[in-house]
Chain A
C-alpha cells in the first residue's frame, strides 16, 4: 500500500492502463501540454506522445463524437471534460450515440468509451461549474456511471472502466482531488457494480456517494459518541447499482438516510429511495430521509454556497431525526 492523493490515483490508473494497452488514448481540452486543468494527466503527454494524449479544440460535441467513433473501430478512448457541466454540449453524442449504438445494432458493435469529468461544487465557481448531473446519465440505458469517493476506489474503478466494453461515465469530485489514502501498489481492479461498506454500524444505513462519503464518515464519529452507530454504504458504481448490498444493510438497521450531491428533485437519491421502498418497505422503522443539494443553481458567495450544499451538519441532523423521530 502507498499513501497517495485521489488525483495521483487517477493519474496512476491512466498511466498503467496506457502502458498495458496501446489502444487506450486520452483526448480533451488541455489534457496534454498543461497536464490537465487539475493535473490529472500529469506526465502522460511526455510518456505517450501527442498521438495518444490529444489536446483538442474547445469542441465538446466533436470530442465526445471522436470518442464514440474511435471506440466504434476498436480503440479505447478516454475523453475528459474539464467540468462536468461542459458535458451538456456533448449530450447528443453521449445519450443518442454512445449509449445506443450497441442496442440499435443488436450487439453488432460495442463502444468501449470512458468519459471522465469532475464535479466541481464547493470551490466558488458558481452555477455553470458546480453541477452534479449523475442522475441524467443513470437514467439512460446503455450507460454505466461510476462515482469513486476514495483514492483506492478511484484507481481500481478507473482501471475497470477502461477495460469495460461499454460507455462509462467516470465522475470525480474536485474537492476530493487532494484527499489522500492508502492505495494498493500491485495491480488491483475493483469491479463495476459492487458497493462498499465504508463503515459498519447497527442503527442507520446511510447510503452516500462521491464527495459526501468522507463527510458522512466524519459525521459517523460524532454520532458514535452520542451512541448512534451508522453503517455507511458507498455504491461506488451508480449504474449498474449494487442493490443487494444496500438492501442487506437496510434489513439489518431498519433506518435509511441517503446523501447525494445531486439536486433533490428526481435526483439519484430519489432512485435510491424508490429501491428501498420496493425492496424493504416492511423493514423500515422510520421514514427514509434524503439529503441533497438544494433545488437552486449554485451561487458563488461562500455563505450562499454553504447554504445550498450538503454539509456534515445536515447528515448529523438527519441521523438524529431517524433515531429520535
Chain B
C-alpha cells in the first residue's frame, strides 16, 4: 500500500539501538514512578500511563529531525521522553509543582516544550490532529521544511477531527505523519466493537495517501515506517497514515479500573513486551551483552530517582500566579 520510499532510512547503528533501548526503559521506569507517586497521593488529578507502548513513541521520534514538531495525546509522557524532554521537569509538572514545564498549570495532560518541538499533550481525544495540520500550514508559510508527527489513538480515529484534518492535509500535501497508536481499547470500548472496517491504516486509501499497519511492539519497524513517511513528506509528497498496533498494559488512567479488559488478554500482550523482546533480539544477534542492558537499566533507575526527588522538592506554585498568563499581557 505504501509508495516506494524516496530514500530508505539510514543504517541503524548500535548507538541508535542502545539509545532506543534506553529511552524505552526510561519511559517504563518513569511511568512506574508516576504510578507509585499516585499511590502516595502526590499526583493531583490523573495520569495516563504509556507502559507497553514504548516502542511506538521511541521508534517514531527517532525518525524526527531536530527541527520537526509533534502533537501528542492525553497519554503523552512517552512522546515527551522520546523527544528528550527533561524527566525532572516532567515529573514536577505531573505533581503540579512550580518547576514543572507548565509551572503546575498543565499537569500530566498538557506537558509542552516548544524548544524540543513538542507542541503539547492534549486532554481532548482527537484535539491535536487539526493542530498538527495547522502547524504544517505554518511551516509552509514560513518556508520551513519541518515535518509534524501527529500522535493519536484508536479512539480519536473515530472523531470527526481526524477525518477533517487528514483530508485537509491530503489536499494540501502537507508534511504531516499521522500516527495512530492503536492500543485496542478506548477506556472500556474495544477497538473491534467501535471501529467499522477494523482498520485505521486502510482509511488512508479514502484520502489517497499511503497507509500502513506496523507492529507497535517493534521499535525498529516503527522507525522504518515513520522514516519512509518522513522522507516522503520532506520531498513534498504529502501526509501518510501509520497505524501502530500495540497495547497499554495498565488501566486507561491511574484513576480508572483495570478489570475492564480480560486478564488473559493483558497477560498475552505482556508476553510481547517491546523492551524485553528488543533486549533479547540485540543479545541474540550478539550486538550487545546483557551486562550492557543491566547497566543502562541501572542508569535509568538513577535518573528517575533523581527526577522524583527533584519533583518532590519543587515547591507548590505561589497562588499569586494563578491569574497569570491567561493573555500575553496583563489585561
Interface residues of chain A, those whose CB is within 8 Å of chain B, are: 22-23, 25, 27, 51-52, 54, 56-57, 59, 61-75, 77, 92-93, 96-97, 101-110, 141-142, 144, 164-166, 193, 240
Partner of B134, one of A23, A70, A108: A70
Least CB separation from B146: chain A residue: A73
* B interface, size bucket: 35 or more
Interface residues of B in 115-167 (CB under 8 A from A): 119-120, 122-124, 127, 129-142, 160-161, 164-165, 167
Partner of B167, one of A59, A101, A103, A165: A59
- Whether B161 pairs with A61 at a CB distance below 8 angstroms is yes
Interface residues of B in 33-69 (CB under 8 A from A): 69
Least CB separation from B69: chain A residue: A73
Complex: A27 Cα to B130 Cα, angstroms = 14
Partner of A104, one of B110, B119, B134, B327: B110
- Whether B142 pairs with A23 at a CB distance below 8 angstroms is yes
Complex: A61 Cα to B114 Cα, angstroms = 23
- Whether A92 pairs with B127 at a CB distance below 8 angstroms is yes
Please name all residues of chain B whose beta carbon is closer than 8 Å to the beta carbon of A104 when the two chains form the complex: 102, 105-106, 110, 112, 120
- Whether B112 pairs with A93 at a CB distance below 8 angstroms is no
A273 to chain B, nearest CB (A): 22
- Whether B134 pairs with A72 at a CB distance below 8 angstroms is yes
- Whether A69 pairs with B130 at a CB distance below 8 angstroms is yes
A26 to chain B, nearest CB (A): 11
B208 close to A (CB within 8 Å): no
- Whether A107 pairs with B134 at a CB distance below 8 angstroms is no
Please name all residues of chain B whose beta carbon is closer than 8 Å to the beta carbon of A92 when the two chains form the complex: 124, 127, 161
Partner of B164, one of A23, A57, A72, A101: A57
Most A C-beta atoms less than 10 A away, residue of B134, B135, B137, B327 = B134
The 8 closest A-B pairs by CB, nearest first: A65-B130, A69-B134, A62-B164, A106-B103, A70-B138, A59-B164, A66-B134, A69-B131
B72 to chain A, nearest CB (A): 13
A51 to chain B, nearest CB (A): 7
- Whether A240 pairs with B325 at a CB distance below 8 angstroms is no
With known contacts A59-B167, A61-B161, A62-B133, A74–B142 Cβ distance under 8 A: yes
- Whether B141 pairs with A103 at a CB distance below 8 angstroms is no
Interface residues of B in 154-204 (CB under 8 A from A): 160-161, 164-165, 167-168, 171-172
With known contacts A62-B165, A107-B324, A141-B326, A72–B131 Cβ distance under 8 A: yes
- Whether B105 pairs with A106 at a CB distance below 8 angstroms is yes
- Whether A75 pairs with B142 at a CB distance below 8 angstroms is yes
Complex: A215 Cα to B241 Cα, angstroms = 54
With known contacts A59-B168, A65-B129, A65-B161, A70–B325 Cβ distance under 8 A: no
A-B CB contact pairs (8 Å), 16 listed: A61-B161, A64-B130, A65-B130, A69-B138, A77-B137, A102-B327, A102-B328, A105-B101, A105-B112, A106-B104, A107-B324, A108-B101, A108-B113, A110-B328, A144-B331, A165-B328
Partner of A75, one of B132, B137, B171: B137
Complex: A108 Cα to B105 Cα, angstroms = 11
Complex: A96 Cα to B131 Cα, angstroms = 12
Partner of A52, one of B134, B141, B171, B327: B141
Please name all residues of chain B whose beta carbon is closer than 8 Å to the beta carbon of A75 when the two chains form the complex: 137-138, 141-142
Complex: A19 Cα to B142 Cα, angstroms = 15
Complex: A94 Cα to B163 Cα, angstroms = 18
A236 to chain B, nearest CB (A): 15
- Whether B133 pairs with A72 at a CB distance below 8 angstroms is no
With known contacts A57-B167, A166-B327, A74–B138 Cβ distance under 8 A: yes
Complex: A213 Cα to B28 Cα, angstroms = 61
- Whether A61 pairs with B160 at a CB distance below 8 angstroms is yes
Please name all residues of chain A whose beta carbon is closer than 8 Å to the beta carbon of B139 when the two chains form the complex: 73
Complex: A22 Cα to B140 Cα, angstroms = 12
- Whether B141 pairs with A51 at a CB distance below 8 angstroms is yes
B279 to chain A, nearest CB (A): 36
Least CB separation from B329: chain A residue: A165
Please name all residues of chain B whose beta carbon is closer than 8 Å to the beta carbon of A68 when the two chains form the complex: 130-131, 134
B223 to chain A, nearest CB (A): 25
B206 to chain A, nearest CB (A): 14
With known contacts A66-B134, A105-B110, A56–B105 Cβ distance under 8 A: no
- Whether B120 pairs with A105 at a CB distance below 8 angstroms is yes
Most A C-beta atoms less than 10 A away, residue of B69, B119, B132 = B119
The contact string, 1 if C-beta is below 8 Å from chain A, for chain B 312-331, is: 00000000010011111001
Complex: A74 Cα to B114 Cα, angstroms = 11
- Whether B142 pairs with A106 at a CB distance below 8 angstroms is no
Partner of A71, one of B134, B160, B324: B134
- Whether B133 pairs with A65 at a CB distance below 8 angstroms is yes
- Whether A105 pairs with B106 at a CB distance below 8 angstroms is yes
Complex: A325 Cα to B218 Cα, angstroms = 79
- Whether A109 pairs with B134 at a CB distance below 8 angstroms is no
Please name all residues of chain B whose beta carbon is closer than 8 Å to the beta carbon of A56 when the two chains form the complex: 168
Complex: A120 Cα to B33 Cα, angstroms = 55
Least CB separation from A52: chain B residue: B141
- Whether A57 pairs with B130 at a CB distance below 8 angstroms is no
Least CB separation from B160: chain A residue: A61
Least CB separation from B176: chain A residue: A69
- Whether A96 pairs with B168 at a CB distance below 8 angstroms is no
Please name all residues of chain A whose beta carbon is closer than 8 Å to the beta carbon of B325 when the two chains form the complex: 102-103, 106-107
| Other contacts beyond A57-B167, A65-B164, A75-B141: 17, CB < 8 A | A27-B137, A57-B164, A64-B130, A69-B132, A69-B133, A69-B136, A70-B135, A73-B135, A73-B142, A92-B124, A93-B131, A104-B120, A105-B112, A106-B104, A106-B321, A106-B325, A109-B112
